[in-house]
Amino acid sequence: MPFETGTVSFRVFENDTPATADEVLNGLRSYSAPPLDTLDKEPLSGWCSPRFIGDLDLSDENCRSARFVSAQLMKAEKKIPGSLLKVYCKMEEIAVMKSRGAKFLNRKERSEIKERIKAELLPQMPPTLTAIQMVHDTESNRVYASAMSEKQHDAFCLGYNRATRLKPTALDPATAAERIFGINIALIDAQCFSPDETVGAVANELGMDFLTWLWHFWETGDGEFKTPHGDKVGLMLEGPAVFHHEGGGAHEISVRRGLPLQSREAKTALMSGKKLTTVKLTMTRGDDAFSATVNGRDFAFSSLKLGLDDKADSTKYDPETSFQNRIAGVKFYSDAFLHLYGVFLKEITAPTAWNKTLASMKNWIANREALA
């Protein structure tokens, strides 16, 4: 399971109501996945243990670690590879045309052949297994889930609500602002950071505004901040980076390799009104370093490196302690990110302070050096 080893890709969800570990785990057990040997034409889905996909042992030993409950929302289905289906259909179409002495088949006949071939091949196909991993922190009432796409997001929310009766909400720029900081982003004016007065602002880009602000915060400051817990955290942004702006030219550009954020292309993007939408963000705390690719549109974290040597840790910690350390790293990184978002929101909703920041950002863009 990715939360137990390697890099972690996840989104942060928050529940409307708290629940104990027993309540969460009992709910998951009530909608455990059916055995794989019962899979037929229709897909199977349900919860299984974090050990491996298809493990239906949702015991405390497998799924519970202190205040954390971990599990996987499994989906099993039989699929026919498109290329294989096409070959079998073409073979059958040729055979039918030959038997009739015909040169072609109409659309209805080809469709009937396709459906017949699918019915014949589907039972022979091995199951395709996918899963959405999740860890529920019952202390913070938050859930970390590998539901990165919109389809996975919907499937996770539905599956988790059905099992636990909890309503998880993904913390994106809008929901995080409202739920954590009590701010309705609809009341925040659209922003333009370009010093070019001919470039206009575009609404509903607050997450991208934040990442661009964070870039300015890092480059013009000392590269450090303090968390509410008093931790001194180092900050660094680096490529690859994606810039976006709805305009007459290219809406989105990607800059990678070399030094993307110091490149001439990055400055050109900023001058044209584009904002940072995806970037690699590294945060350090003491000797520990945590880095992930963050998305300003939905606050998804991809390939988070937890700064822990898994091989070294395996000699120092038992598996449960190692897991708890890793989830503590996930929590630290996402909490620190959301704290910075709160700093940004406090500033952007204070007109006097924000006017100074906006002037500073425009000056920073106009005068920043760019490497060829």
178 part of a folded domain? no
* Total-model pTM: 0.88
Reported as a pLDDT band with limits 50, 70 and 90, residue 230 is confident
Do 145 and 252 share a structural domain?
A: no
Task: Measure Cα distances from 10 to 82, 128, 133 in Å.
Answer: 30, 22, 9
Q: What confidence tens digit (pLDDT) does each residue in 32-82 have?
A: 999 988 888 888 999 999 999 989 999 999 999 989 999 999 999 999 999
Write down the pLDDT at residue 58.
Answer: 95
Say yes or no: 162 and 248 in one domain: no
Interval 288-308 mean pLDDT: 92
Does pLDDT of 178 surpass 90? yes
The answer on 359 and 299 residing in a single domain is yes
CB contact set of 328 (below 8 Å; sequence gap of 6+): none
**Cα separation, 197 vs 177, whole angstroms:** 29
pLDDT computed for residue 162 by the predictor: 95
Q: What is the mean pLDDT of residues 2-29?
A: 92
What pLDDT is stored for residue 310 in this prediction? 45
Q: Are residues 199 and 339 in the same domain?
A: yes
Among 128-137, 161-170, 269-278, whose mean pLDDT is lowest?
Answer: 269-278
Range of the domain at 154: 8-77+126-170
Copy the structure tokens of residue 165: 């009766």
Domain count, the chain: 3
Q: Looking at the domain assignment, is residue 372 inside a domain?
A: no
Two structure tokens written together for 242:
């994606």
pLDDT at 202 over 80: no
- Give exposure, 157-195, as e/b (b: 16+ Cβ within 10 Å): bebbeebbebebbbbbbbbbbeeeeebebeebeebbbbb
| pLDDT range class, residue 6, cuts 50, 70, 90 | confident
Task: Write out pLDDT tens, residues 84-95.
Answer: 999 999 999 999
Residue 318 pLDDT more than 80? no
Q: How confident is the model at residue 312 (pLDDT cuts 50, 70, 90)?
A: very low
- Is residue 348 within a helix (H) or strand (E), and if so which, with residue range? helix 319-348
Q: What is the pLDDT averaged over residues 216-225?
A: 90
Please say whether the dihedral angle defined by the alpha carbons of residues 233, 238, 240 and 246, taken in this order, is positive or negative: positive
Q: Say yes or no: 159 and 268 in one domain.
A: no
- Band the pLDDT of 353: cuts 50, 70, 90: very high
Share of the chain above pLDDT 70, in %: 95
Same-domain status, 87 and 39 = no
Q: Give whole-number Cα distances, 39 to 55, 118, 244, 314, 353, in Å.
A: 15, 16, 44, 37, 60
Residue 317 confidence (pLDDT) above 70: no
**Distance from C-alpha of 205 to C-alpha of 215, rounded to nearest angstrom:** 15
pLDDT, mean of residues 109-115: 93
Q: Is residue 55 part of a domain?
A: yes
Token reading at 330 = 């996930």
